[in-house]
Amino acid sequence: MGSPAALDAVTVLDFSTVGPAARCTRILADYGATVIKVGAPARAGSVQIDAPFHAYGGGRGMKRVRIDLKAAAGRAALLRLAAGADVAIESFRPGVAARLGVGFEDFRQVNQRIVYCSTSGYGQAGERARWAGHDLDYLAVGGFLHRSGRRADGGPALPGATIADAAAGGMQAAIAILAALLQRSATGQGAHLDVSVADGVVSLLALSIDQHFATGEDTGPGSDLLSGRYACYDVYPTGDDKWLAVAAIEPVFWANLCRALGLERWIERQLDDGVQESIRADLRAAFAARGRDEWVARLAPADTCVAPVQSIAEVASDPHFAQRGAFGWAEHPERGRYRQVAALLAGALRDAGPVALRDASVTDTFELLRAAGLAADEIERLQSEGVIA
């Protein structure tokens, strides 16, 4: 028998459907935590908000309960689950969870050890705390968009991924929860974590913001090495209308690239601001002579720091990622078998075979409430009243 998963003994109540909290619990589940997704029972005429069947790993390895938190009996049932949980994570507007009777203080009354994580766009306090927002907004206020490249009209380019939700929010929440669990092992006490996605974006931009504090510079696109000031760190079109990423920062890698392209005259002028456009012109001309993959085959093994700019479809069929076990199979009762990104982060659990998924309508409500100590007749009553499903 193999070793237990890193979070094998951790139970998480997740009130989210999408966004940073859902990203967080996907990570926790991939490390072995028992994640229980908490949602409301479907009602006639209502629209149940569920992520697409394939999103967030299709809910692989997670459990579900449907409880009406607006009903006193529903809140009482949930608190029975909370008494045996280690973590709760919510993404309501600040103050809403407390008004519903499922806030940190409510949970702490039944479980002093609970790690309660509140995720929101701008945090539980501050002048923006009540603002509505999404990923793009948090990237905007945190400085990420200003640092990004520009569109033809001069505006910031839209990012190709929900970086704020995934890294600034989801990963931040997972790190904070793991740290709080470690602290709890020493103190026996839980914690209330205030995860602000916008704060997380500021953390991601720390190099640039600290540079501003230290020098007074207001860095933007093209202002420094990592934002396009120099030709050695840029993307270039190739002869087949694809793109090549060049990140030859260190002089040795830059020298290797120049020699491979017959551009030795630029080796000593890598950071000479007066010739950058001339260097770029020569690089564009050189790369136009061959297709992207031919350049990759020639240059990548030669210590030049180049890589292909791949589409999502190309990533999905990339042999390196396949060799790394990055993709697995899922089996859905209605959608059939399809590929998905595996539990990819280092040390996470990866299934050897297809992962069996369930339809979103299937819940574990009755089983979990029985395990929490509710009597069968009480569960039947709650079901008949529409409080649980």
CATH 3.30.1540.10 maps onto the chain at 225-309
Closest CA to 59 of 35, 40, 78: 35
Spatial contact of 201 and 195, defined as CB atoms under 8 Å apart:
no
244's enclosing H/E stretch is: strand 243-247
Confidence of residue 49 (pLDDT cuts 50, 70, 90): low
Q: What is the DSSP secondary structure assignment for residue 265, as one 8-state letter?
A: G
Is 212 annotated in the active site?
Answer: no
- CATH annotation of 225-309: 3.30.1540.10
Q: Which of 14, 30, 137, 165 is catalytic?
A: 165
Confidence of residue 47 (pLDDT cuts 50, 70, 90): low
- Angstrom distance (rounded) from CA 19 to CA 91: 9
pLDDT at 2: 60
pLDDT digits (tens, 9 = 90+) for 110-122: 999 999 999 999 9
Instruction: Name the CATH superfamily for 11-203+359-384.
Output: Crotonobetainyl-coa:carnitine coa-transferase; domain 1 (3.40.50.10540)
Global pTM?
0.94
pLDDT at 253: 98
pLDDT digits (tens, 9 = 90+) for 212-237: 999 999 888 989 999 999 999 999 99
Is 134 annotated in the active site?
Answer: yes
Q: Which of 8, 134, 210, 218 is catalytic?
A: 134
CA 267 vs CA 237, 262, 271: distances in Å: 21, 10, 10
pLDDT at 117: 98
Cα within 13 Å of Cα(240), Cβ side? 11
CATH 3.40.50.10540 maps onto the chain at 11-203+359-384
